[in-house]
Structure 1
């Protein structure tokens, strides 16, 4: 009997942390976090960020709804676009996997507002210089702006000084040196911004893996 009760207590204790969202469970305003395998750029992002439970995430996007159908709005290299679930979840994913962030119950009113806000950014250019103040958007910046607007202009996700340096050497990653050199701008070290890993650790969110 004691062994049975012990086993039940373990299930109750850890059941919530191991449960997952199914694709059919997704709702407008959910944030999808992915550890996309995109080579040196993603490796550099992963190395300077720490996401939920130490996982690496190099991309995040919003679930939205239109005409009773769910899909994704995301900021990628070609700009802010609509993406089908089939296309979005077919990416090559690394060890961090794919997780879903859903705002906690006390903030649930923000999610549908953020999802609706995302539509106004469709067609905007990708923010290749990661400037929070221009009218271009990178993935986590899009999430930041849609939720900030939903919260009457108050931040939901926090901005922090961004770094492009290898924490092991304190030298700039070569990939970033070449990247910003081609853009003919200085590396924006220390400028405010945010990344998918930081967003995934927000106290506003409940995080679960997704099952297919």
Structure 2
């Protein structure tokens, strides 16, 4: 019985180590090319950020996904435009590698009609206007600083007239968890902006306007 238990534990340990190694290894050139070839300007890409506030965002929004970007063209290549600190273009492979377990989901408008040339140009050009802006750690709705889902939501609203996800008030989030409470205390002290208009990655992920086209 003990021998069988040791064998079973050995198998589990081997699988665990293999998974860890697999998740830490960089994407192959073939994988990168396959992913890049499947993407289009306007695709919305989600992953699980390992940043310090990532867990608090997951808990507050009741969502697995806590970070989002949008595919735009930069210097002839499709890249992820994302609001970190500051807003920047990120190569696809780097963006995927940075997420938890390299897991990502790509979503696209749930329509048979492709984006028009004007819409694609608007996303590319409007996105460029945000590059270099600082990340908004306080989740305000003005454009002086900007956070990830706010960036993608506003680009879609401005260029396509679509609202990807329903805007909420900050106070509608689930703020009871101690991890969330601690993050709020550090960020806002006693001045939590309960009435601030916000959009979350999770709300965008669940939007009926989007369909999943790729994931890993």
Q: TM-score, normalised by structure 2?
A: 0.72
- In structure 2, distance between residues paired with 1:64 and 1:205: 17
In structure 2, what is the equivalent of residue 109 of structure 1? 115
What is the deviation of 1:128? 1.7
- In structure 2, distance between residues paired with 1:86 and 1:156: 25
* 1:36 counterpart SS class: coil
The one of the two structures with greater contact order (alpha-carbon pairs below 8 A, sep at least 6) is 1
What is the deviation of 1:86? 2.7
Higher helix share: 2
Pair 1:187 & 2:173 matched: no
RMSD across aligned positions (CA): 2.7
Unaligned runs of 5+ in 2: 1-33
Aligned structure 1 segments of 4 or more residues deviating by more than 3 angstroms: 154-157, 163-169
CA-to-aligned-CA distance 1:184-208 (integer Å, 9 cap, x gap): x711123210111110111110124
In structure 1, what is the equivalent of residue 79 of structure 2? 71
- In structure 1, distance between residues paired with 2:214 and 2:192: 34
What is the deviation of 1:81? 0.8
Aligned counterpart for 2:202 among listed residues 164, 187, 197: 197
In structure 2, what is the equivalent of residue 44 of structure 1? 56
Aligned counterpart for 2:128 among listed residues 119, 134, 142: 119
What is the deviation of 1:165? 4.8
Structure with greater Cα Rg: 2
In structure 2, what is the equivalent of residue 100 of structure 1? 106
- Decide whether the 8 Å contact of 1:22 with 1:210 is kept in 2: no
Pair 1:157 & 2:161 matched: no
What is the deviation of 1:38? 2.4
In structure 2, what is the equivalent of residue 131 of structure 1? 140
In structure 2, what is the equivalent of residue 5 of structure 1? none
* Alignment CA distance shift 1:200-1:74 (3 Å): same
In structure 2, what is the equivalent of residue 9 of structure 1? none
In structure 1, what is the equivalent of residue 67 of structure 2? 59
* Alignment CA distance shift 1:199-1:115 (3 Å): farther
CA-to-aligned-CA distance 1:33-65 (integer Å, 9 cap, x gap): 0111224x21111112244xxxx1110001111
- Decide whether the 8 Å contact of 2:60 with 2:180 is kept in 1: no
- In structure 2, distance between residues paired with 1:38 and 1:107: 36
* Alignment CA distance shift 1:105-1:172 (3 Å): closer
What is the deviation of 1:172? 5.7
Higher strand share: 1
Q: TM-score, normalised by structure 1?
A: 0.73
- In structure 2, distance between residues paired with 1:167 and 1:186: 16
What is the deviation of 1:107? 6.3
- Decide whether the 8 Å contact of 1:37 with 1:92 is kept in 2: yes
- In structure 2, distance between residues paired with 1:22 and 1:34: 15
Between the two proteins, the alignment pairs up a number of residues equal to: 179
